[in-house]
């Protein structure tokens, strides 16, 4: 109603109106997309083996995002998403994959967090001050929580299981994306979104495996 009032009062240029309408349209479309995706996700989740078929995290994300889009376009033909995958679609898919990984590795902790109960005394995650965010992803607490300029990923990175087969794939993809960054830089870039234990040694191992870096050093 407020937007409508401004439009009719003549304060907006035609360009701005069009831009706002596009944004509103996209946000409604995105809402429908997310609803469709989440209802589909509830059927995907039990198929944990799904993630084992892929060695590449980005490939798995894109395949899942295409699956979500397919389901959304079938369910909401009047709101079809055409063209290339959007950043928002990839984030929805990526978040679901992170949830899947966490459920495979930290099922006990997730169960306790959902019930608002303390973690078991033998849990390896006790010192991390973990919590579940709105979408059910385990995030790590920390000293950066009071910095209002940081986004949620920087303040509270998503917890990655260090032994899951997709974790090295994420590290490798970051290593290549950031021009074969060395272990220290790579770890700090990864920590802006993810947290995993034994960070530096795992990142070092992955850097050491990189053939491009090995060739450049020899
Ligand atoms: Zn490299």
* 33-52 confidence digits (pLDDT tens): 666 666 566 555 544 566 67
For the cut 80, the answer to whether the pLDDT of residue 17 exceeds it is: no
Distance 148 CA to ligand 1 centre (A): 34
Residue 204 CA to ligand 1 center (angstroms) comes to: 11
Distance, CA 213 to ligand 1 centroid (Å)? 4
Q: What is the pLDDT of residue 14?
A: 40
CA of 54 to the centre of ligand 1 (A): 21
Distance 166 CA to ligand 1 centre (A): 18
Cα-Cα-Cα-Cα dihedral sign, residues 31, 32, 33, 34? positive
Q: What is the CA radius of gyration of the chain?
A: 21
Q: Is the pTM of this model over 0.85?
A: no
Cα 45 to Cα 9, 49, 51, 61: the distances in Å are 49, 10, 10, 14
Q: Identify the band that residue 7 occupies on the pLDDT scale cut at 50, 70 and 90.
A: very low
Mean pLDDT of the 182-205 span? 95
pLDDT the model gives residue 101: 86
Q: How far is the CA of 91 from the centre of ligand 1 (A)?
A: 26
194 touches 186 (CB < 8 A): no
11-20, 98-107, 110-119, 130-139: range with lowest mean pLDDT? 11-20
């Amino acid at each position: 109603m407020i937007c409508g009032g401004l439009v009719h009062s003549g304060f907006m240029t035609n360009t701005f109106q069009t831009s706002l309408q596009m944004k509103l349209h996209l946000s409604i479309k995105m809402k429908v997309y997310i609803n469709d995706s989440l209802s589909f996700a509830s059927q995907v989740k039990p198929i944990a083996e799904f993630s084992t078929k892929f060695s590449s995290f980005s490939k798995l994300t894109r395949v899942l995002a295409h699956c979500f889009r397919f389901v959304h376009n079938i369910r909401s033909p009047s709101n079809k998403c055409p063209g290339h995958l959007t950043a928002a679609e990839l984030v929805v898919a990526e978040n679901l994959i992170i949830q899947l990984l966490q459920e495979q590795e930290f099922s006990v902790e997730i169960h306790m967090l959902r019930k608002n109960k303390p973690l078991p005394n033998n849990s390896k995650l006790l010192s991390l001050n973990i919590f579940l965010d709105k979408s059910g992803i385990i995030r790590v607490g920390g000293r950066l929580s009071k910095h209002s300029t940081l986004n949620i990923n920087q303040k509270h990175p998503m917890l990655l299981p260090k032994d899951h087969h997709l974790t090295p794939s994420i590290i490798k993809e970051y290593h290549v994306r950031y021009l074969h960054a060395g272990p220290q830089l790579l770890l700090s870039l990864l920590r802006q979104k993810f947290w995993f234990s034994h960070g530096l040694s795992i990142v070092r191992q992955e850097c050491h495996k990189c053939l491009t870096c090995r060739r450049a050093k020899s």
